[in-house]
A and B are shown apart, each in its own frame.
Chain A
């Protein structure tokens, strides 16, 4: 019987090579349903990749040939669409605005949230627990709730239509998630090193900066990149707060580019170029740090 064979495998599951169909006892389940599922899954994967590649390809073709043959490939590498999007669609300014806002607000978000998360993770009493809860409540509040009051408030201090205002808003709005993520992360770090440092006479501040932060590099990088992604893609707040073209962030510029087309006729070439400008940084980040991101986004999910 084949069952006899897989008992040692069951005892020492580590010996089994990874990503290999499991032990003989489970080999019988290659059912029809399952292989259809696997086939479907690979089709989904292939379609996703093809769509992405297709979008990039179309960005190098002009509108007429795109409409003529949507499945065609570019004959030459022509950056005309990008040039047009860059100049006519004001994407240059918008990309710059988005890049600066994203980097500045993400750095500051993490810089402000990390000490707070450290404190909440290390000092446990009723007071810090209620502060943690106070932060977590923010996770459930959708942006449209704070949209109008925020607009009114910022308008009174002349921070609407200002990148400074947008940065401040992004930092405030990102606090709940970042504090939540980093608190869980700091809790998972071992306490011993900090105790040793304290015994050697390091102050609490010194311990945080010289021991904990270097240990927490990975978690902090994850939090930072997650903020980069969410700030780069943020649309609703930026659409509300930014009014003049030279202050637009990339998503808002893309929306206004789409809306111009109702009047000036569809410029699909330029539009595809715009989409590629929005998507590419995310693809680069994902290829660079993919595993870390999925781990960060699924961290603490079982709690």
Chain B
């Protein structure tokens, strides 16, 4: 009986002192945080405004325009999903869409295989910093430059043909014939993009501690086994990120196609080498026909849908339990 009140008292006093100190702490913490929270409008507001007005609003507008027949001036006529059907019956669009898929998958797979191979070589190579810096640089150059350069390299009197001449090739193929353009564009893209992805993959491969490799060597693992059981599982997440990055950037490819091999005279590239981005631009802004804003945005929205589907699939497929190391 006599013990309980004191117990209570001590309990209460201890609790109260603890709670006051906690309250103090919380008051301290919350005063910074409360102050910080007040900054929502001035800090986040401008960025939110710019982004919403100049990016999200146009993106929503694109959905809206794609449901109309519209030439940019005059009245908009609501046609529902007609533009989408129209576009999928348009041979030019199907060609452009096929090209985009070729870029996405064929070029994409080539880039990843080569980049991964380069990574494995670069990993413990002498002078890897220099090599890495050089192969990264093309990423910083406007793709227009490669398009124009390719025009000169494959020119009838250009670099490739003068190089082939000593080997007895007197009748070289017409590199820049309209049907050859797209394969050349694909090769150009592989050459200029691989370095960037190699650099990113390297960041993943570099994280693997060296004693894993030594352990492999001691255990007598073949290089293939080492690749299969050590390198791949530990870089898997970086691979996933790279795949998403390539998906997004490959759908945007425009510049290199636009000027590849010089201009064809009409100011637009031959239709055999179009991508969906080129299709969108030409359909809307080429001076040759009445602009069809509806069909143009519909094709852009289709590309966006393609990106979203692929990104979701990629994220699902690449999801593994992260390996902690």
**Chain A residues engaging chain B, CB cutoff 8 angstroms:** 3, 6, 9-10, 13, 16, 19-23, 25-26, 28-29, 31, 34, 37-38, 41-42, 44-45, 48-49, 51-52, 55, 67, 70-71, 112-113, 115-116, 118-120, 122-123, 131, 134-135, 138-153, 168-169, 171-173, 175-176, 179, 194-195, 198-199, 203-205, 207-208, 229, 232-233, 235-236, 239-240, 251, 254-255, 258-259, 261-262, 266, 268, 271, 275, 278-279, 282-283, 285-286, 290, 293-294, 297-298, 301-303
Contacts of A134 in B (CB 8 A): 56
B154 CB to closest chain A CB (Å) equals 12
A258 CB to closest chain B CB (Å) equals 5
A261 and B263 contact, CB distance less than 8 A: yes
B226 CB to closest chain A CB (Å) equals 9
The CA of A19 and the CA of B126, in the complex, are separated in Å by 6
Q: Which B226-279 residues have a C-beta within 8 angstroms of A?
A: 237-238, 241-242, 248, 251-252, 254-255, 258-259, 262-265, 267, 276-277
- Whether B87 sits at the interface, judged by CB under 8 Å, is no
Closest-by-CB residue of A relative to B209 is A13
Contacts of B145 in A (CB 8 A): 275, 278-279
Can you list 27 A-B pairs with a CB-CB distance of less than 8 A? A10-B211, A22-B210, A26-B214, A45-B135, A48-B138, A67-B157, A70-B152, A119-B44, A123-B36, A135-B51, A143-B277, A146-B55, A148-B296, A173-B54, A175-B51, A176-B51, A198-B32, A203-B35, A258-B259, A258-B263, A261-B262, A262-B262, A275-B148, A275-B149, A290-B133, A290-B136, A294-B199
Binds A, one of B7-15, B59-67, B177-185: B59-67
The CA of A263 and the CA of B214, in the complex, are separated in Å by 63
Closest-by-CB residue of A relative to B72 is A152
A198 CB to closest chain B CB (Å) equals 4
A144 and B281 contact, CB distance less than 8 A: yes
B124 and A282 contact, CB distance less than 8 A: no
Question: In the complex where A146-B55, A172-B55, A204-B35 touch, is A55 in contact with B149 (Cβ < 8 A)?
Answer: yes
For the complex with contacts A262-B265, A275-B149, 7 further pairs of A-B residues with Cβ separation under 8 Å are: A37-B117, A44-B135, A119-B39, A119-B44, A195-B32, A255-B144, A302-B237
A192 CB to closest chain B CB (Å) equals 12
Contacts of B120 in A (CB 8 A): 37
Contacts of B159 in A (CB 8 A): 70-71
Q: Which B23-70 residues have a C-beta within 8 angstroms of A?
A: 28, 31-33, 35-40, 42-44, 46-48, 50-51, 53-59, 61-62, 64-65
Q: How many residues does chain B have at the interface if contact means C-beta atoms less than 8 Å apart? A: 111
Contacts of B37 in A (CB 8 A): 123
* Cross-interface CB contact of A153 among B38, B57, B200, cutoff 8 Å: B57
A140 and B311 contact, CB distance less than 8 A: yes
A278 and B144 contact, CB distance less than 8 A: yes
A48 and B135 contact, CB distance less than 8 A: yes
- Whether B217 sits at the interface, judged by CB under 8 Å, is yes
DSSP majority for the A interface?
helix
- Whether B140 sits at the interface, judged by CB under 8 Å, is yes
**Chain B residues engaging chain A, CB cutoff 8 angstroms:** 28, 31-33, 35-40, 42-44, 46-48, 50-51, 53-59, 61-62, 64-65, 72, 117-118, 120-122, 124-145, 148-149, 152, 157-159, 162, 196, 199-200, 203-204, 207, 209-211, 213-215, 217-218, 223, 237-238, 241-242, 248, 251-252, 254-255, 258-259, 262-265, 267, 276-277, 280-281, 284-285, 293, 296-297, 300-301, 303-304, 307-308, 311
